[in-house]
Amino acid sequence: MHFKIDTKEKFTVVTPISGVLSANIAAELAQTGSGILEKDVKNVILQMEQVSAVDDGAAAVLLEMSQQFYESNASFVICCLQPAVEEQLEQKELLEMLNVTPTESEAWDIVQMEEIERELLDGDDMEFESNA
């Protein structure tokens, strides 16, 4: 395995331990992400502090994972990007489509806010249906 996994109460922190996020490692990451989506704690924070480069295939996988998580009502937040990686994603015009925060603490905040938002939206749907 090319990353460390740390499960918290509301999210799982996945930390790649390789300096380069290749397409092969990203595919393994996507497989792990799919497994996380089947668990009770579905939110993921991808901690990228140790990653100094992302190849094109891996960048595409990150975008696919982000979409997959949000379609499954789960959060996928990337944090601690190195400047070179941030620039690579910006050049590929992917940075704006990903949920990225500067620190892991801010990523935790995003996950918690999105959890509250989902709970409120689910509550609104139930009230709307009962009034119909």
Domain ranges of the chain: 3-131
End-to-end CA distance of the chain: 50
User: Does residue 132 surpass a pLDDT of 50?
Assistant: no
pLDDT tens, position by position, 63-115: 999 999 999 999 999 999 999 999 999 999 999 999 999 999 999 999 999 99
What pLDDT is stored for residue 2 in this prediction?
87
15, 50 in Cβ contact below 8 A? yes
User: Does residue 131 surpass a pLDDT of 90?
Assistant: no
80, 48 in Cβ contact below 8 A? yes
The encoded tokens of residue 19 equal 């300096």
What pLDDT is stored for residue 64 in this prediction?
96
Question: At which residue do the structure tokens 């070179």 appear?
Answer: 84
25: which residues sit within 8 A by CB, 6+ positions away? 2, 3, 16, 18, 58
Q: Which amino acid is at 31?
A: Q
What pLDDT is stored for residue 107 in this prediction?
97
pLDDT tens, position by position, 9-54: 999 999 999 899 999 999 999 999 999 999 998 999 999 999 999 9
| Number of CB atoms found within 10 A of residue 116's CB | 10
Query: What is the CATH code for 3-131?
Result: 3.30.750.24
